[in-house]
Amino acid sequence: MQWKKLGVVWKPEGQQPWARSHAMIPTPVRIDNECLRIFLCSRDAENRARPGFVDVSAADPTKVLYVHPDPLMDIGAPGTFDDAGVLPTSIVPLPDGRMYMYYAGFELGHLIRYRLLTGLAVSNDGGVTFHRVRKTPVLERSDAELYFRCGPYVAYVPESSRFRLWYVAGSAWEEIDGKSMPVYDLRYLESDDGIAWDDEGRVVLSIERPDEHGFGRPWLVVGEHGYQLYYSIRRRSLRAYRMGYAESQDGLTWSRKDEELNLDVSAQGWDSEAIMYAAVIEVNGRTFLFYNGNDFGATGFGVAEQVG
């Protein structure tokens, strides 16, 4: 697998109060053959994230066609699981025309740094506005997954009318170079309605390598040869993310092939320190990978094209 980096696509100019900085976790949806809509989140002056979107050209994804001026929804009410941030990670178009947005709700802690649980919002206008399905998480904390049930990638399967979920989960913090850092792996669940999920998922990718302590938002591509999984790896030695890649025949048993991805940090510039949150989409016979670079999207989001 070979990629050509095309550069930064967009980052906020800082003029909107809700989007002073960052373009985090780019999540592409194909609108038509001419347009890709990139859902993301930006931060206000207090570092609270809200979701928005940017439309880009399918022929040239570095060309921005439209920047939506308003957040798609607000942060949660004080004391709720998403009162410090709403970070969309998966957009699911449904057969009835609605659109589900699964997101990580960010909640600051006192004895731990933060919690990340999964919320769900729905759009009836093609993804221009969203409203919460409920004020509590659809992936609430549980005995088995205490602090983190987040980073969801959700696929709707029309043949069975079921929802499949790959997500990040964990119940531990670890001291790394004097800083408390989260520890989590990748897990899997299924649901009849996309709202009710079990309390504990099946571990499908575990932390086994000594330089790793967590994975970031997974992204799945299903093709004629099986499943491809793109994910981010939190490295102890680097104190930053790198990208990983795995393959599967059923979406449950994975063979890690990180070295085959061939997409790493640049020698200098916006993605020279970290690279993360890969999201892959095929349009008009071309395959694009959207991603973040340094500082979790502070330098914007960029795109690479598969060339081999």
Q: What is the pLDDT of residue 177?
A: 86
Classified as helix, coil or strand, 291 is strand
Distance CA 94, CA 156 (A): 8
Work out how many domains the chain is built from and give that number: 1
Q: What is the CATH number of the domain that holds 157?
A: 2.115.10.20
Contact between 151 and 217 under an 8 Å Cβ cutoff? The reply is yes
pLDDT at 223: 79
**Beta-strand pair 114-123/131-132:** antiparallel
Question: Which of 70, 92, 74, 96 lies closest to 83, judged by CA?
Answer: 74
Give how far Cα 204 sits from Cα of 21, 244, 258, Å: 34, 14, 16
Are 93 and 83 in contact, with CB atoms under 8 Å apart?
A: no
Expressed in angstroms, the distance from the first to the final Cα of the chain is 5
Is residue 282 within 8 A of residue 304, CB to CB? The reply is no
**What would the two tokens of residue 260 be?**
């085959």
Domain assignment of residue 292, given as a range: 3-306
pTM: 0.96
Residue type, 59: A
- Residue 308: the pLDDT is 85
Q: Which helix (H) or strand (E) holds 6?
A: strand 3-10
Digits of tens for pLDDT over the chain (308 positions)?
Answer: 999 999 999 999 999 999 999 999 999 999 999 999 999 999 999 999 999 999 999 999 999 999 999 999 999 999 999 999 999 999 999 999 999 999 999 999 999 999 999 999 999 999 999 999 999 999 999 999 999 999 999 999 999 999 999 999 999 999 988 889 999 999 999 999 999 999 999 999 998 888 899 999 999 999 777 999 999 999 888 878 999 999 999 999 999 999 999 999 999 999 999 999 999 999 999 999 999 999 999 999 999 999 98
pLDDT at 221: 96
> Other CB atoms closer than 10 Å to residue 103's CB: what's the count?
32
